[in-house]
Amino acid sequence: MADTEDLSDISADESDLFDSLLNSCHQEKFDNDTNNEDDISAINELVCDLRDFFGNDEDTSEKIRTDLAQTVNDGVSKQPTMAKIKTVMDRYKRPENCEGLTVPRINEEIWHQAKAHTKSKDLKSQHLQGLLIKAMIPLVQITDSLMAVVTDGKELDIKGTMRKAMDTIRLLAAAHADLNTKRRESFKQDLSGPYKRLCSASGPTTKYLFGDDLTKRIKEISEANRLGKKIFQPNSRDKPKGKSYQYHRYEPYANNRQGQTFSKSTPSHNRGKPAGRGRGQHHNAFLSKRQRDYPRN
């Protein structure tokens, strides 16, 4: 009964104040929990960013059709035949009002003064640039067709657009393969004899320029080189018998050159040659030596 009387003594204002305080505590707890969740989410995001920063995985987009992806992967890893590439290039001509879609020619004043090595290197670069220009032509035509659909309400030739898009991929893949070949050739001068074949245009290209099985190919070349030397090793019967036929340069004054020094007071007409190389001095030394060999009676 006492408890009931105590509760009955609480006024309405005091009850409202108590409820307000209780609600405030609940709201504060909810706000704290919400803030903690936000902080935890922010921390997790920062950790993910840090993991991506130190990770080796390349940032990629959504997957495409499996058959298209496989075709592209095979296309960029192999060297296409020039006959097929020429067929694709002949399909596309430069638009009349696109004068910039051409390979710049060398000025005659520079071309006639250039060395043969420079000309050869530039011709290879022109071939690569020609592939890129040809790849831009169907891409420009596709863009023009899409703009005509939006602005003029024309219907889109889906089949023709698909052909142009795929031809663009073909030409860009050929340019990619040609650039890989040029990169491999740049390392040829740093490789020893039999290993220069690693830089051939027919070599495979993956995420590594010289392929994934480079160690295996090096072993195969080393083994083939060893067997080749063993097969073509000269026979002992082919070697000359008796004296060894080696070339020796004739030096009539070899004994006089031993111990000769360079004189600081060398006359200007000697042009920095060692002192005592004049004809008269050698002649006198020869005579004096002959006189010692044959003393007078």
pTM value surpassing 0.75: no
Residue 72: closest CA among 209, 212, 170, 162:
170
Contact predicate 79/173, CB 8 Å: no
- What is the DSSP secondary-structure string of 150-218? HHH-PPP-HHHHHHHHHHHHHHHHHHHHHHHHHHHHTTGGGS-GGGGGGGSTTS--SSSTT-S-HHHHH
Cβ proximity of 270 and 277 under 8 Å: yes
Share of the chain above pLDDT 70, in %: 65
Taken in order 175, 178, 182, 184, the sign of the CA dihedral is: positive
276-295 per-position pLDDT tens digit: 555 545 445 444 444 555 55
Q: What is the mean pLDDT of residues 158-184?
A: 92
Cβ atoms within 10 Å, residue 111: 12
- Going by pLDDT thresholds of 50, 70 and 90, the confidence category of residue 142 is very high
Token pair 């080749």 is found at 228
Name the percent of the chain lying above pLDDT 90.
Answer: 31
**Largest alpha-carbon pair distance within the chain?**
166
pLDDT, residue 157, reads 93
168 vs 85: CA distance, rounded Å = 11
For 74-83, give one letter per residue: b (16+ CB within 10 A) or e. ebbbebbeee
Element (H, E) at 245: none
Whether 47 shows a pLDDT value over 80: the answer reads no
263: left (phi over 0), alpha (psi -120 to 50) or beta: beta
At 198 the pLDDT is 84
- pLDDT for 230 beyond 80: no
